[in-house]
Amino acid sequence: MRIIVDADACPVKDIIIKNARKKNIPVLMFASINHVLNDDYAQVIYVDHGRDSADYAIANNVKKGDLVITQDYGLAALVLSKQALAMNQNGIIYNSKNIETLLLQRHINQKIRNSGGRISGPSKRKKKNNVTFEQVLKKHLPTNS
């Protein structure tokens, strides 16, 4: 198992590193060249700053059994198709039961925005989001690494 992180806007990088280090699990963080990530544990892989560059790089690198942390539903769908686990920064596990609904909602929201409508963004991140994420992350890490 490796943990692969869509790192550009990931608010839980420190939590991921802390838990991966304890279990000696490799971490690959994919970030655009517009971001600077400094970490002595994770392997940082920089990609072009183009739209979805990190997503494509992650999709091309993910392997069966990996854990991918991403907010992107499209990337999560690709990860699931490769028999890897995908979760978001709030601890929601993407799966075959919820991914289609999430993709459909993303499509509907985009249509609303394209026609001039407004969609409310995500609520402000709270400390409990980090606690929940870490609890779910720990449940999905191997116990004997």
Report if residue 66 sits inside a domain. Answer: yes
Report if residue 14 sits inside a domain. Answer: yes
| Structure-block tokens of residue 145 | 């690494």
Q: Find all residues with CB under 8 Å of 51, minimum gap 6, and list them.
A: none
pLDDT band of residue 9 (cuts 50, 70, 90) is: confident
Report if residue 93 sits inside a domain. Answer: yes
Torsions phi, psi of 142, nearest 5? -60, 145
Report if residue 34 sits inside a domain. Answer: yes
> Which of 40, 48, 44, 41 is CA-nearest to residue 10?
44
Report if residue 17 sits inside a domain. Answer: yes
User: How many angstroms separate the CA atoms of 36 and 44, rounded?
Assistant: 9
- Structural domains in the chain (count): 1
Report if residue 67 sits inside a domain. Answer: yes
Convert the pLDDT of each residue in 18-57 to its tens digit: 999 999 999 999 998 877 787 889 999 999 887 778 889 9
Is 62 in a helix, a strand, or coil? coil
pLDDT at 109: 64
pLDDT at 34: 78
Report if residue 144 sits inside a domain. Answer: no
User: How many angstroms separate the CA atoms of 61 and 79, rounded?
Assistant: 10
Convert the pLDDT of each residue in 110-128 to its tens digit: 777 778 887 776 778 899 9
Report if residue 145 sits inside a domain. Answer: no
**23 exposure class (CB count in 10 Å sphere: 0-12, 13-18, 19+):** middle
pLDDT at 2: 97
Beta strands across the sheet bearing 3-6 = 43-47, 27-32, 3-6, 67-69, 85-87, 93-94
pTM exceeding 0.75: yes
For residue 74, give its domain range. Answer: 3-139
Q: Residue 99 belongs to a domain with what CATH number?
A: 3.40.50
Convert the pLDDT of each residue in 65-99 to its tens digit: 999 999 888 899 999 999 999 999 999 999 988 77
